[in-house]
């Protein structure tokens, strides 16, 4: 009996330890970020301007503006979870080169040179800084908001409060809670998660033309997430682009399907 009590006490202490570790260190589990020194110099093959935009709470957000001659519009790109602007800038440059759009891509708090305390609402609202920057240069009917994976939360947050030309979502989750529940089914994520990023409530209120791209074999954000978001969308014009056989990080390998989707969206 005494051994059973000791085991139960040990087991409960272990559970409490795991829960506390998840609660206090969840940022490291959620955000796959690293920093860049303030003196870091980006190297790209086409013209760009480096941006530093300041939020109301003092955070400074770093971005890049790739510029083309006679742009058809501007793409505001909200990038995925892993990597910073030295990596995502290459994709921004590729978009600009392929389709003759200006491209603005930015780092979230704690990524690259971007600073500021991570709290859900201020982080999401940082996206407005870059949308307003784009709006100062282009009319809204020339602005495309693009969100990839984690960036989809920022993209829908921006779009629900504005009227851009269109919204593009790639490999986007329904909510961070559902991702956490699927990844850690043994934890009460509903009660522990401090970041409640979600698209389930945002999508139904977005009326602008909406395009969704998702790999059918995505093992990080299951294909069903994209399907549910598409079904919830009330946009009068919407289109879903399944990438047959595509996983989370290899969609560009399916060149005909993936770039065919981009060709349709950015024609």
Domain ranges of the chain: 2-265
Report the alpha-carbon distance of residue 147 to residue 145 in Å, rounded. 7
Least confident of 19-23, 156-160, 161-165, 179-183: 19-23
Better-scored residue on pLDDT, 219 or 10: 219
Q: Which of 50, 48, 27 is nearest to 38 (CA)?
A: 50
Better-scored residue on pLDDT, 118 or 71: 71
pTM of the model: 0.90
* Mean per-residue pLDDT, 198-204: 94
Given a cut of 60, whether residue 123 has pLDDT beyond it is: yes
Helix (H), strand (E) at residue 23 = helix 2-24
Given a cut of 70, whether residue 22 has pLDDT beyond it is: no
Give helix then strand counts, H and E, for the chain. Answer: 9, 8
Mean pLDDT of the residues in the chain: 89
Cβ atoms 140, 162 nearer than 8 A: yes
Q: What's the pLDDT band for 20 if we cut at 50, 70, 90?
A: very low
Given a cut of 70, whether residue 6 has pLDDT beyond it is: no
Query: At the top level of CATH, which class does the domain 2-265 belong to?
Result: alpha beta
pLDDT at 87: 95
Residue 165: how many other CB atoms lie within 10 Å: 17
Given a cut of 90, whether residue 146 has pLDDT beyond it is: yes
The 3-state secondary structure of 69-123 reads CCCCCEEEEECCCCCCHHHHHHHHHHHHHHHCCEEEEECCCCCECCCCCCCHHHH
* Mean per-residue pLDDT, 250-257: 96
Q: What's the pLDDT band for 180 if we cut at 50, 70, 90?
A: low
pLDDT at 4: 54
* Mean per-residue pLDDT, 222-238: 97
């Amino acid at each position: 009996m005494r051994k059973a009590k000791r085991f139960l006490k040990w087991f409960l202490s272990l559970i409490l330890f795991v829960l506390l570790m998840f609660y206090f260190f969840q940022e490291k589990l959620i955000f796959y970020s690293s920093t860049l020194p303030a003196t870091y110099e980006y190297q790209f093959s086409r013209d760009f301007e480096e941006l530093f935009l300041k939020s109301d709470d003092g955070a400074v957000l770093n971005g890049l503006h790739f510029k083309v001659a006679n742009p058809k519009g501007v793409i505001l790109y909200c990038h995925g979870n892993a990597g910073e602007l030295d990596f995502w800038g290459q994709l921004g440059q590729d978009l600009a080169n392929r389709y003759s759009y200006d491209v603005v891509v930015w780092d979230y708090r704690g990524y690259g040179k971007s600073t500021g305390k991570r709290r859900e609402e201020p982080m999401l609202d940082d996206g407005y800084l870059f949308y307003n920057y784009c709006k100062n240069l282009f009319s809204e009917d020339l602005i495309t908001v693009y969100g990839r994976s984690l960036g989809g939360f920022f993209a829908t947050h921006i779009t629900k409060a504005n009227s851009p030309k269109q919204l593009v979502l790639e490999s986007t989750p329904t909510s961070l809670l559902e991702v956490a529940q699927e990844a850690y089914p043994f934890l009460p994520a509903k009660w522990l998660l401090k970041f409640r990023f979600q698209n389930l409530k945002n999508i139904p209120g977005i009326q602008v033309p909406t395009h969704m791209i998702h790999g059918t074999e995505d093992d990080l954000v299951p294909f069903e997430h994209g399907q549910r978001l598409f079904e919830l969308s009330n946009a009068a014009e919407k289109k879903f682009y399944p990438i047959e056989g595509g996983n989370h990080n290899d969609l560009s390998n399916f060149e005909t399907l993936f770039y065919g989707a981009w060709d349709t969206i950015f024609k």
